[in-house]
């Protein structure tokens, strides 16, 4: 067994000493010693707590002096309470002092001080494994195209025109997008279903409003056709619905002529060119944001796949607990129970548990891979990065930086904060370097297409810096904002 020992005096509390020994299987043993003077503080607090719980004649509850308690109940109970209460603080201080990244609950063995003298104990705990990953400089990821094609812009314009379209009769077979006038009767065992029986009903072919079987039958149907077919029941899988459909008319949408006058009167835009320009800008922003998010997710997933070693169960369990907690908070905010959520998503508890475990393993691998890349590329956060993040958290929570720092130090959170910043830097490093291709065509994507135009960046950063009473300056800002849409 490889073993290494080194000793350090803890800064807080000052009278606690500890050593750390590396064991097999990513475990360490912390040996901690607390002198009597330091433990006396915890012991005194234990007696104060007990004084609120016992009744002794002649003394008010909570005001019983310690010497009286010692005379009546002894010190064994208070000492046991103090050890149990303070042990976590002593153990946490040892973790912080030796920068031990524990990922599970420790196995603690009290080795001295149960009855008297200094408190000594050993704590064996599993730590996060440190992996090395290779091949992360040669990753290629697939993402959606960040640039909308002309045909998509054209479809968007036609969608707007379609709001003012007129339906005109046509003497041809119906196709997707046409509107047909039909009589429809849906029956189960010869009994019509109220929700599936109607006359002179206008239905858009391909809309899926009734079911895929109806769309399949209407595709290619002509006015005057009589259709009969069977479809699956949407709720009862053991039941079929018999349909009888009479097609009375086939109509197509006749779009209005695309002119500046029509655009100005019927839309939020003033001209055809203005509509096309602003739609293009908006869709470009949307496509760019979607592709950028997909790039980050794909890069993270790709580095996670580089971790081939087995993941410690404690890491997977911790990730599963985090995901369940986040889901519970989300469902509570929506007023939903877990059973309702499972029903809405068509999942059993077993399927949910399986998906949760698989997702947690993936997340744990991504975490380990990003930590490895951060170490390999020297991406540890500087002190200024830590201060900047503390400032951001303080602003977000409307607290002071000192309050945030004290809380993190007390809860062993600074180590996690540093790790999060390192992983964030590693992901950004990867995002800037992976090869990116179109997920549909496989063609390389120009990384410049993922970057916001400089004019947009300048506008966003310039607007919040101050206010002005100059009407012309306000108008200029409005024009800049409109041109950037």
Establish if 409 belongs to a structural domain.
Answer: yes
- Please, what sign has the CA dihedral across residues 66, 67, 72, 78? positive
Establish if 237 belongs to a structural domain.
Answer: yes
pLDDT score for 454? 62
What is the enclosing helix (H) or strand (E) of 359? helix 349-376
Establish if 312 belongs to a structural domain.
Answer: yes
**Polymer length in residues for the chain:** 485
Q: Which two tokens stand for residue 381?
A: 């956060």
Residues 298 and 437 in one domain: yes
CA distance 3 to 230: 74
Establish if 482 belongs to a structural domain.
Answer: no
Residues 290 and 371 in one domain: yes
Q: Which two tokens stand for residue 20?
A: 């750390």
46, 57, 118, 130 from 49: Cα distances, Å: 5, 18, 22, 43
Please check whether residue 38 is in contact with residue 82, taking contact to mean a CB–CB distance below 8 angstroms: no
Residues 85 and 201 in one domain: no
155, 252, 481 from 485: Cα distances, Å: 19, 33, 7
Cross-strand partners of 17 = 9, 33
Q: Which of 98, 126, 154 is the last residue of a domain?
A: 126
pLDDT score for 197? 92
**Nearest alpha carbon to residue 408 among 398, 417, 399, 400:** 417
Residue 103: exposure state from Cβ atoms within 10 A (0-12, 13-18, ≥19): middle
Residues 358 and 417 in one domain: yes
Cβ of 32: how many Cβ atoms within 10 Å? Answer: 23
Give the single-character DSSP code of 230.
E
Establish if 100 belongs to a structural domain.
Answer: yes
Can you give the CATH number for the domain in which 199 is found?
3.10.50.40
Residues 308 and 410 in one domain: yes
Residues 248 and 285 in one domain: no
Q: Classify 200 in phi/psi space as left (phi over 0), alpha (psi -120 to 50) or beta.
A: left
Range of the domain at 202: 166-254
Query: Phi and psi at residue 186, in whole multiples of 5°?
Result: -110, 125
Q: Which two tokens stand for residue 228?
A: 């009969």
Residues 202 and 296 in one domain: no
Tell me the DSSP string of 238-267: T-EEEEEEEEEEEEEEEPPP--HHHHHHHS
Residues 224 and 287 in one domain: no
Cβ of 35: how many Cβ atoms within 10 Å? Answer: 16
Please check whether residue 250 is in contact with residue 173, taking contact to mean a CB–CB distance below 8 angstroms: yes
Residues 369 and 442 in one domain: yes
pLDDT score for 456? 56
Please check whether residue 357 is in contact with residue 408, taking contact to mean a CB–CB distance below 8 angstroms: no
Can you give the CATH number for the domain in which 437 is found?
1.10.3120.10
Cβ of 419: how many Cβ atoms within 10 Å? Answer: 18
Pairing, β 240-254 against β 166-169: antiparallel
Can you give the CATH number for the domain in which 121 is found?
3.30.70.1050
pLDDT score for 458? 52
What is the enclosing helix (H) or strand (E) of 112? strand 107-112
CA distance 471 to 474: 5
Q: Which of 126, 152, 178 is the last residue of a domain?
A: 126
CA distance 137 to 256: 53
**Cα 477 vs. chain centroid, distance in angstroms?**
35
Give the single-character DSSP code of 127.
B
Q: Which two tokens stand for residue 55?
A: 């009744």
Establish if 268 belongs to a structural domain.
Answer: no
Cβ of 462: how many Cβ atoms within 10 Å? Answer: 11
Q: What residues contact 321, with CB distance under 8 A and at least 6 apart? A: none
**Cα 236 vs. chain centroid, distance in angstroms?**
35
Residues 247 and 281 in one domain: no
Per-residue pLDDT of the chain (485 residues; tens, 9 = 90+): 233 333 333 334 447 899 999 999 899 999 999 999 999 999 999 989 988 888 888 888 878 888 888 888 888 999 999 999 999 999 988 998 898 999 999 999 999 999 999 999 999 999 999 888 999 999 999 999 999 999 999 999 999 999 999 999 999 999 999 999 999 999 998 888 888 899 999 999 999 888 899 999 999 999 999 999 999 887 777 889 999 999 999 999 999 999 999 999 999 999 999 999 999 999 999 999 999 999 999 999 999 999 988 889 999 998 999 899 999 999 999 998 998 999 888 889 999 999 999 999 999 999 999 999 999 999 999 999 999 999 999 999 999 999 998 888 877 788 889 999 999 999 999 999 999 999 999 999 999 999 887 655 554 444 444 444 443 333 343 333 333 43
Q: Which of 97, 126, 155 is the last residue of a domain?
A: 126
3-state secondary structure of 443: coil
Please check whether residue 116 is in contact with residue 18, taking contact to mean a CB–CB distance below 8 angstroms: no
Establish if 483 belongs to a structural domain.
Answer: no
Establish if 480 belongs to a structural domain.
Answer: no
Q: What residues contact 290, with CB distance under 8 A and at least 6 apart? A: 144, 146
Q: How many domains does the chain have?
A: 3
């Amino acid at each position: 067994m490889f073993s290494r020992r080194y000793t350090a005096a803890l800064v807080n509390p000052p009278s606690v000493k500890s050593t750390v020994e590396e064991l097999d299987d990513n475990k360490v043993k912390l040996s901690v010693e607390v002198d009597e003077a330091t433990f006396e503080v915890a012991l005194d607090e234990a007696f104060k707590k007990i004084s609120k719980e016992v009744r002794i004649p002649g003394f008010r509850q909570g005001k019983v002096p310690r010497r009286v308690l010692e005379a009546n109940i002894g010190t064994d109970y208070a000492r046991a309470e103090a050890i149990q209460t303070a042990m976590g603080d002593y153990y946490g201080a040892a973790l912080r002092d030796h920068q031990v990244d524990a990922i599970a609950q420790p196995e603690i063995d009290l080795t001295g001080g149960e009855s008297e003298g200094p408190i000594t104990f050993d704590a064996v705990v599993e730590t996060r494994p440190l992996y090395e990953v290779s091949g992360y400089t040669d990753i290629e990821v697939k993402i959606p195209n960040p640039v909308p094609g002309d045909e998509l812009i054209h479809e968007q314009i036609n969608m707007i025109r379609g709001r003012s379209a007129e339906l005109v009769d046509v003497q041809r077979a119906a196709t997707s997008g046409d509107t047909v006038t039909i009589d429809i009767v849906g029956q189960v065992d010869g009994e019509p279903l109220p929700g599936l029986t109607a006359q002179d009903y206008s239905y858009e072919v391909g809309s899926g409003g009734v079911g895929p079987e109806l769309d399949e039958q209407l595709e290619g149907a002509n006015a005057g056709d009589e259709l009969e077919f069977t479809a699956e029941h949407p709720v009862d899988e053991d039941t079929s619905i018999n349909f009888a459909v009479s097609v009375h008319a086939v109509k197509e949408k006749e779009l209005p002529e695309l002119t500046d006058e029509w655009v100005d009167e019927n839309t939020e835009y003033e001209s055809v060119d203005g509509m096309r320009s602003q739609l293009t800008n908006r869709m470009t922003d949307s496509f760019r944001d979607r592709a950028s998010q997909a790039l980050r997710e794909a890069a993270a997933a790709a580095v996670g796949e580089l971790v081939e070693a087995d993941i410690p169960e404690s890491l997977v369990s911790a990730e599963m607990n985090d995901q369940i907690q986040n889901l519970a908070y989300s469902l509570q905010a929506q007023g939903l129970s877990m059973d309702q959520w499972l029903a809405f998503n068509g999942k059993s508890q077993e399927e949910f548990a399986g998906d949760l475990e698989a997702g947690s393993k993936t997340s744990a691998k991504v975490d380990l891979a990003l930590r490895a890349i951060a170490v390999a590329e020297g991406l540890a956060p500087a002190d200024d990065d830590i201060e900047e993040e503390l400032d951001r958290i303080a602003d977000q929570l409307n607290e002071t930086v000192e309050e945030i720092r004290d809380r993190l130090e007390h809860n062993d959170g600074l180590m996690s904060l540093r790790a999060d910043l390192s992983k964030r830097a590693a992901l950004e490093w990867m995002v800037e370097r992976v090869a990116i291709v179109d997920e549909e065509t496989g063609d390389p994507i120009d990384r410049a297409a993922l970057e916001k135009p400089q004019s947009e960046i300048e506008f966003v950063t310039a607007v919040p810096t101050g206010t002005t009473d100059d009407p012309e300056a306000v108008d200029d800002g409005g024009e800049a904002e409109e041109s950037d849409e």
